[in-house]
Chains A and B, each alone.
Chain A
């Protein structure tokens, strides 16, 4: 019985000219999303890999220099393009992908894609993630909006309800017909993107990313399932194609455009972002005047001098068996580092609060919840970016210690020394970390799935004349 309903629905769908045109349009968009994502991934990963090599090569071949001056030559810590950025590049365009590693200064993010882009980029980058988060739900609503309402409009509902088929069978058949169509698209998209991943420059990493890739598609399948159930249920509840279309597209507009913008404004008002000026003023003040009564920089310098003389059992700096300057550099590197850590922690805490507001708003929008899940699975979210920034900073300090230790004994460093400074290499955290980080959005998505199932049970009881 269910199979019969599925067959009939699919026949009707494929014989409706506007639906066929819609499908063709969606397939073209899907192809475009795949192409865009792939070309972005290939060009970015190649550019970053090359830049990383070039700047590091320049650093280790800078020749004989004072070690500290040589350290200031610096090099870049690049965040490699996440393999799954081909699917969803998340906030990569906004966070940038590199930190400059040099003494005293925590790296400031550079090379944000959006700074080179035109205003059109504000609409988002069209890739598989964009397609799945925004276009696919709209397509599902366009397919599902009249799957039931047409029965009332055609008058066929009486014929169906006077048959042997139960309301549950009819609902299941119609839902499955929509799902077959949607999941066929998903499978096509999944196979095509997997194919492109295996063609990409990091295809040797494919086995490592399959888990995240699989979970991404599982999440997408759940998302599409809940969207389809909502579409079919609303079609049944409204019994009117126009009303159903208006309701569903309104829900889409609300979830995709209005709620994100509104919640973004609310989060900024509740937790105003720390401006560059505030950040600079605070860190400058804390570096110069110290925190928790540790005294001004001059006072701390005097204490350091006393302690160093005492440590080496001498009365004059000139009598020290090591160079004193690297000791002061290392000392203030550490204390300034603490100031910077505190300042960055404040920024990150504020960002977390803002993100929490955004995530809370996804209680009203499954699109937002899936977007968050998608970014976390593809490691293109803020959380992963902060992890990268943290590891890049640790690397910068590690380089500082290596250089300062060398500087205490030597005033000149050559290429043999520079080669001992390690290259920065970042690997995004594994699937367990990503899943833990995505737990709130997964919970919200599951909540929405439950709501859609309840709506389904509520609606099919309304299948009467």
Chain B
């Protein structure tokens, strides 16, 4: 479903992403681990077509992003670390707007149903987003992804700052979507989340994908050790 071939992004002499090769299957959850500046968000931005690649290609369901960004946009949903919505509109109005922008027309009832699936309480539907907590915004973000019927989800630090309960709810929804065939590429610092939620984990450092692991084959302790060793090793070398 997702494929990166020697995908590279450089800003002058600084290489933010260095020859990334990656393939993610339908229904697979792939977690990208790495410290700040490792290249996780750059990878997501390249797949979304927000920034042009310096070299290499990114494909979504066989369509090259740089060639037909409009077609690839139709297949994806994006949930950033902080789901930014329009503060003067209600959650429902935000959802209605973004679903409309994605070419879907739903009744208020149907939209409410998506909000419920995303875990937002009905009493909050018509309140202005300016009064929402971060978790509530995240839920609206999920609802937006649901209404789009996206084939691919890009999540950029989605559980950062969420309480454990909200984080758990979020994981359940992503798992459900995975079972329905939705592929997920998630950038995170959260090793436990990556281990529990992801099918595969890629560890990135300084723009390079250093190691790929299958989450079922590695314990949380081992993952932590591998991650720290990789990052440390590189920092010593640097």
| Residues of A bordering B, CB below 8 Å | 1, 4-5, 8, 11-12, 15-16, 154-156, 158-166, 464-465
Contact = CB atoms under 8 A, between A and B. Distances in A.
Contacts of A155: 80, 82, 84
Contacts of A165: 101
Interface string B66-97: 00001001101110101111111100010001
B101 A164 contact: yes
A12 B101 contact: no
| CB-based closest 10 A-B pairs | A155-B84, A465-B50, A163-B101, A15-B88, A4-B100, A162-B78, A165-B101, A164-B103, A156-B84, A164-B102
Contacts of A4: 97, 100-101
Interface residues of B, number: 30
Contacts of A158: 48, 50, 78, 80, 84
Contacts, number: 72
A161 B70 contact: no
Contacts of B160: none
Contacts of A162: 48, 50, 73, 76-78, 154
A437 B80 CA distance: 58
B88 A16 contact: yes
12 contacts: A8-B89, A8-B93, A12-B88, A155-B82, A156-B84, A158-B50, A159-B84, A162-B78, A163-B148, A164-B70, A164-B101, A464-B50
A8 to B, nearest CB: 5
Contacts of B83: 159
Of A162, A164, A464, the most chain B CB neighbours within 10 A belong to: A162
Interface of B: 45, 48-51, 70, 73-74, 76-78, 80, 82-89, 93, 97-98, 100-103, 144, 148, 154
Nearest to B96: A4
A1 B70 contact: no
Contact of A464 (B51, B70, B103): B51
Nearest to B156: A158
Nearest to A161: B50
A164 B89 contact: no
Contacts of B74: 164
A103 B119 CA distance: 94
B184 to A, nearest CB: 15
B96 to A, nearest CB: 8
A161 B103 CA distance: 13
Given A1-B101, A11-B93, A155-B80, A465 B73 contact: no
Nearest to A154: B84
A15 B86 CA distance: 11
Contacts of B78: 158-159, 162
A16 B130 CA distance: 12
Contacts of B148: 163
Of B48, B86, B93, B101, the most chain A CB neighbours within 10 A belong to: B101
A11 B89 contact: yes
Contact of A160 (B80, B93, B101, B154): B101
Given A1-B100, A166-B70, A8 B86 contact: yes
A166 B50 CA distance: 13
Contacts of A16: 88
